[in-house]
Amino acid sequence: MTRTDDDSWDITEGVGATALGVAWARAQEANSGCPLFKDTYAQRFIDAATARGWQLPPSHMVERIRAISNYAASRTKWFDNFFTTAGANGVVQAVILAAGLDARAWRLPWAHDSVVYEIDQPKVLAFKAQTLTDDSPAARYIAVPIDLRQDWPKALCDAGFDTQEPTAWAAEGLLPYLPAEGQDLLFDRIHALSAPGSRIGVESFGNKFFDPEYLANRRAQLRQMREAAGDDATDAVDVQDLWYIEDRTDVADWLMRHGWRVSTEDAQTLMERFGRPPTAATEDTTPRTTFVEGVRS
């Protein structure tokens, strides 16, 4: 799939389908010996998509997802902790950017009077609403169906967002799907909407992640997995083809320059802290990301 400035997608295609891959990984965590989190909704999303004709990942992708399952679990746990910590510090307004099939509005223990806004493509949020139609969220939940490349701040405010209240913002698995200029605009908008005391959690993809040699090795590993599994490469989709591989502003530096207090933790350190360190077999497939948390003074 070739990206364009105005492309859109359903849950079973393009960027939308990556949310199903993440949901599949979250569903697998329930079968681990000591799960880092509990997400009873993930498998339901997979079942609903399968009923609509979506096919489970081909065998080579299953192996790839399993290879980075400890990363996916650690990332999920980090963002879970981010939101619960924000709530414990009195932040009861949350915005999940490019929410995909994130079910935190349903499964986390939100503080009293919390409101959770989710922003994503209209078809993605519609699929989520249809799948969870009989379930009640654990906080007041408001879907904001709009592309992040459009005027989402206006749509968010029209939906009831209060710019005078501190907010917990989350950008998980999002930034590679935005062009570099789009990433800068995203943070400009977040900053403009953030009252003092606001918090932000970001999975940051920097120069180490976009290193050409590193990306070439990842692509080669995927090809080897596909060939070893005997999968047909005719319609194979490499997630790298969905990314904007461009030089980017460092997220932590940007936040500090704009007056946010920042802490960072690289992926490997995070995984070790949660008891899920990369193995020798998965070290090369573990994303070279940094988890950034900021608090606006």
**pLDDT band (50, 70, 90) for residue 21:** confident
* Cα–Cα nearest to 116, from 133, 145, 92: 92
Residue with the bigger pLDDT between 219 and 59: it is: 219
Percent of the chain with pLDDT over 90: 68
How many angstroms separate the Cα of 218 from the Cα of each of 18, 23, 61, 64, 124?
17, 21, 13, 10, 28
Across the chain, mean pLDDT equals: 89
By DSSP bridging, strand 140-145 and strand 115-120 are: parallel
Please indicate, yes or no, if residue 27 is contained in any of the structural domains.
yes
What pLDDT is stored for residue 25 in this prediction?
Answer: 87
At 182-199, the pLDDT tens digits run 999 999 999 999 999 999
182 occurs within a structural domain:
yes
- 184: CATH: 3.40.50.150
Flag whether 247 is in a domain.
yes
Q: At what angle do helices 59-67 and 69-88 cross, to 10 degrees?
A: 50
> Quick check: 65 pLDDT over 70?
no
Does residue 111 sit in helix, strand or coil?
coil
pLDDT band at 54 (very low <50, low <70, confident <90, very high): confident
In sequence order, the β-bridge partners of residue 167 are 93
Bridge partners of 29? none
Q: What is the mean pLDDT of residues 102-107?
A: 97
What is the reported pLDDT for 63? 61
pLDDT at 39: 96
The residue-averaged pLDDT of 92-99 equals 98
- pLDDT band for position 221 (cuts 50, 70, 90): confident
**Weakest mean pLDDT among 27-31, 134-138, 174-178:** 27-31
Report whether 137 contacts 20 (CB < 8 A).
no
CB distance 145 to 125 below 8 Å: yes
4 within domain boundaries = no
Share of the chain above pLDDT 70, in %: 85
Mean pLDDT of 50-58: 80
- The domain in which residue 166 lies consists of 14-296
8 A C-beta contact, residue 100 and residue 17: no
Any domain includes 7: no
Cβ neighbours of residue 168 under 8 Å, at least 6 residues apart? 82, 83, 86, 87, 91, 93, 94, 95, 198, 199, 200, 201
Of 126, 181, 119, 179, nearest to 151 by C-alpha is 119
State whether residue 88 is helix, strand or coil.
helix
What values do phi and psi take at 27, rounded to 5? -65, -35
Q: Is residue 148 part of a domain?
A: yes
Q: Tell me the C-alpha distance between 119 and 100, whole Å.
A: 8
pLDDT score of 24: 87
User: What is the Cβ-side half-sphere exposure of residue 2, based on CA atoms within 13 angstroms?
Assistant: 1
| CA 197 to centroid of chain Cα atoms | 23
On the question of pLDDT at 40 being above 50, the answer is yes
The predicted pLDDT at position 232 comes to 58
> What is the count of structural domains for the chain?
1
Q: What is the pLDDT of residue 3?
A: 43
Q: Is residue 89 over pLDDT 60?
A: yes
Cα-based distances in Å from 200 to 143, 182, 217: 19, 17, 31
Predicted pLDDT at 45: 96
Q: Which helix (H) or strand (E) holds 140?
A: strand 140-145
Whether 85 is covered by a domain: the verdict is yes
Judge whether 9 lies within some domain.
Answer: no
Per-residue pLDDT reduced to its tens digit, 230-286: 655 545 556 788 889 999 999 999 999 999 999 999 999 999 999 999 877 666 778
pLDDT of residue 193: 99
Burial class (CB in 10 A: 0-12, 13-18, 19+), 81: middle
Instruction: Give the phi and the psi of residue 83 in degrees, each rounded to 5.
Output: -70, -40
